[in-house]
């Protein structure tokens, strides 16, 4: 070996040795410190007979063929969104026609509709996106329910040359988003710094959008309470003032509209529920309706 090559080899050995000393870590396992004890789920009231049917009808997996609406060339973009809303109004006149109908102003304002999303027309701008996974766009449509502050959100697809409604929901809406095969609806809560988040996802077996997530989430102060609670579908019984889910446990509790001063046994009795200073009513399984979706 030449002197030059011996010198190079010596330098390489010195560099490797220096790297080993600088690292100072043999690569073995090291403890990360103590961890909290894992607690398995605990089943409560095992003596209760499991329910065999839902308590409330949320119209899940129900679809509807829109009568009187044609789909030229099976292209949903060629369907007039205003005509679709008019067809829904015609199919349920009790909600829209007459001076006492809950959404009578929506029916009146439809006369001002030329193009969706323009002027006083209650029909909002339509959006087209493939939500069913068949490679063709579907229609996500919204329209205002007046009087009031509710928004109807609908999803339509084309099946056998017909326009089919595969999702329907009405709510006091803060935002609507499309993500993958899902429609996400955000709604205000009476509780400060919280909002409701509902996610409807396409199910290819049911051929409908199913309510797959129903959550209450913190907003980090992005929104203030609106004073309006999340609405229920028109077919859902409403024997309770308002039910929502605990963000910590996923269980349900009832938020009262106001305290009854005459029924209070002893003073002082607060005049109205304030979520910032008054704790919510403790969970009572005898009074609280069944959660339709379970834990998130």
Confidence of residue 60 (pLDDT cuts 50, 70, 90): confident
pLDDT at 87: 96
Q: Where are the domains of the chain?
A: 64-238, 241-296
214 contacts 230 by C-beta, under 8 angstroms: no
Q: Please tell me the pTM assigned to this model.
A: 0.64
What whole-number distance in Å separates Cα of residue 103 and Cα of residue 44? 43
Residue-wise pLDDT for 190-248, tens only, equals: 999 999 999 999 999 999 999 999 999 998 765 444 444 444 444 333 333 333 343 43
What whole-number distance in Å separates Cα of residue 71 and Cα of residue 158? 8
Tell the burial category of 175 from Cβ atoms under 10 Å away from its Cβ (0-12, 13-18, 19+).
Answer: exposed
How far does Cα 220 stand from its chain's mean position?
18
Residue-wise pLDDT for 156-189, tens only, equals: 999 999 999 999 999 999 999 999 999 999 999 9
């Amino acid at each position: 070996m030449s002197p030059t090559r011996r010198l190079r080899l010596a330098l390489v050995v010195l560099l490797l040795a220096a790297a080993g000393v600088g690292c100072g870590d043999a690569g073995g396992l090291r403890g990360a410190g103590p961890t909290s004890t894992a607690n398995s789920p605990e089943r409560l009231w095992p003596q209760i007979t499991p329910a065999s049917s839902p308590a409330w009808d949320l119209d899940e997996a129900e679809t509807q063929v829109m009568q009187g609406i044609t789909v030229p060339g099976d292209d949903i973009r060629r369907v007039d969104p205003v005509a679709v809303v008019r067809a829904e109004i015609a199919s349920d006149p009790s909600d829209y026609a007459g001076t006492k109908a809950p959404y009578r102003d929506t029916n009146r304002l439809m006369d001002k509709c030329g193009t969706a999303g323009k002027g006083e027309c209650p029909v909002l701008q339509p959006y087209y996106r493939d939500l069913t996974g068949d490679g063709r766009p579907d229609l996500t449509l919204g329209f205002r329910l007046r009087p009031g502050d509710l928004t109807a959100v609908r999803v339509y697809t084309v099946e056998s040359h017909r326009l089919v409604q595969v999702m329907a929901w009405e709510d006091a809406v803060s935002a609507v988003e499309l993500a993958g095969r899902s429609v996400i609806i955000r709604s205000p809560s009476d509780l400060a710094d919280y909002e409701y988040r509902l996610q409807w996802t396409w199910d290819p077996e049911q051929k409908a959008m199913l309510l797959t997530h129903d959550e209450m989430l913190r907003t980090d102060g992005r929104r203030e309470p609106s004073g309006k609670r999340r609405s229920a579908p028109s077919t859902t019984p409403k024997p309770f003032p308002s039910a929502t889910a605990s963000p910590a446990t996923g269980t349900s509790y009832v938020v009262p509209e106001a305290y009854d001063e005459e029924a209070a046994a002893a003073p002082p009795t607060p005049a109205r529920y304030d979520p910032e200073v008054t704790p919510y009513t403790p969970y009572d399984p005898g009074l609280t309706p069944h959660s339709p979706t379970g834990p998130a």
